[in-house]
Amino acid sequence: MILKTFGWSFAVTALGLVAAFLYGGWVAFGLVAILSVLEISLSFDNAVVNAGVLKKMSEFWQKIFLTIGILIAVFGMRLVFPVAIVSITASLNPVKAIDLALNDKERYEELVTNAHPSIAAFGGMFLLMIFLEFIFEEREHTWLGFIERPLSRLGNIDGISVCLALIALLGSALFFAGDAHQYGGHHADKTSTVLLAGVAGLITYLVVGGLSGHFESKLEEEEEHEHELEEEAARAGKKFEPVKLVGKAAFFMFLYLEVLDASFSFDGVIGAFAVSNDAIVIALGLGIGAMYVRSLTVYLVRKGTLDDYVYLEHGAHYAIGALAVLLLVTIRYEVPEIVTGLIGVALIAWSFWSSVQRNKRLAAEGGGSDVKSEVSSGV
């Protein structure tokens, strides 16, 4: 199972590290290894959330996610995206931007750093909406019940997620964007840039999330019907196979996953410049990390980990919320990438531990109800 799922990741790791050594010796080898670990730690929560969506898709679309999707993730976000940032923000043609990336690394790093406020605003708003939509939705299981229960009741208010996201954007523009961090420790007024990018991030979420949500609601209707058929099959002693997302529904879910991955990649791409300003080294390191994120997503789906550890998805969304806040904060202040990565890993590890404890309680109680165990745990 491990080799089948992570085989390509192991192969890409070996090839990437060899390429790094041939390109820049042991120094490049070490930098690529560090960037790979950084990408995995920053994007682990991405894998957990992706698994929650991917498990609803057919095997065909899961393969598309692992093939075409990985090409988009590696070559699009980890290689083309940094160059596109320079091209757009500095009004350069793509050829000139590539030339800067390969031949004038310091100038390239300067341009990317100066573009960070707009990137942080776009990615921060997109990720914040994901967290808010999750936290305001009523769920069967609650992890931090003292937070989730009252907020799920507030979720009945129409448009509350959008309102809070816009308030966060206005706050970021007022308190952070007026003195935004720039290359070399300088600061500049990026208020209009942050507002425009933040609204673009919100619109992107509403459009892509709305389309995928539309088809997901249809899936839920089908699942209710399938549940009835499953009960009938059980009574008749027959095996029942659930229907997976296909066609347009699967396509929009695939699109949603790609946009989600892109948003998670923003901090990794920008944070990579704290380790190296070499575009080749960054592409190799983040590309290896992206392969593991994809493989980990599929592993979580095939092992049914999310069904066994019910709080993992909660922990991942809390990590998303923390990342969104940190992205907005970095418009003005520098936040070490190790801090960002550790916060996400810590929240997911905590939710995993809570899930294990919950399973132990249920086993000790002889399969008692989830509600009883959650109430007794105080969550």
Q: What is the largest CA-CA distance in the chain?
A: 72
Residue 365 has pLDDT above 50, yes or no: yes
Percent of the chain topping pLDDT 70:
77
278-287: average pLDDT:
81
pLDDT band, very low/low/confident/very high, at 164 (cuts 50, 70, 90): very high
What's the sign of the alpha-carbon dihedral 167, 170, 175, 176?
positive
Give residue-wise pLDDT tens across range 100-142: 877 887 887 788 788 888 888 888 898 899 889 888 887 777 8
Angstrom CA distances, 309 to 349, 352, 357, stand at 11, 7, 10
135-156: average pLDDT:
82
Give residue-wise pLDDT tens across range 180-207: 888 777 888 899 999 999 999 899 888 8
Identify the pLDDT of residue 252. Answer: 72
User: Which position has the token pair 């699009």?
Assistant: 76
Percent of the chain topping pLDDT 90:
9
CB 305 within 8 A of CB 29: no
Residue 371 has pLDDT above 60, yes or no: no
Pick from 206, 213, 292, 208: which is nearest to 245 by CA? 213
Residue 370 has pLDDT above 50, yes or no: no
Write the CB contacts of 236 (distance below 8 Å, at least 6 apart in sequence): none
Listing DSSP states for 203-258 in one string gives: HHHHHHHHHHHHHHHHHHHHHHHHHHHHHHHHHHT----PPPB-HHHHHHHHHHHH
165-189: average pLDDT:
88
pLDDT band, very low/low/confident/very high, at 9 (cuts 50, 70, 90): confident
Identify the pLDDT of residue 368. Answer: 45
Identify the pLDDT of residue 267. Answer: 59
Q: What is the mean pLDDT of the chain?
A: 77
Identify the pLDDT of residue 377. Answer: 39
Distance CA 90, CA 169 (A): 24
pLDDT band, very low/low/confident/very high, at 171 (cuts 50, 70, 90): very high
72-76, 157-161, 187-191, 368-372: least confident range: 368-372
Residue 76 has pLDDT above 60, yes or no: yes
Identify the pLDDT of residue 49. Answer: 67
Give the amino acid at 285: G
Q: In the structure, how many helices (H) and strands (E) does the chain have? A: 15, 2
13-22: average pLDDT:
92
Most confident of 47-51, 196-200, 258-262, 304-308: 196-200
Structure tokens at 378: 């105080």
Q: Which sequence spans correspond to the domains of the chain?
A: 2-377
**Which has more confidence, 196 or 271?**
196
pLDDT band, very low/low/confident/very high, at 270 (cuts 50, 70, 90): low
Could you give the angle at the alpha carbon of 77 between the alpha carbons of 212 and 213, nearest 5°?
5
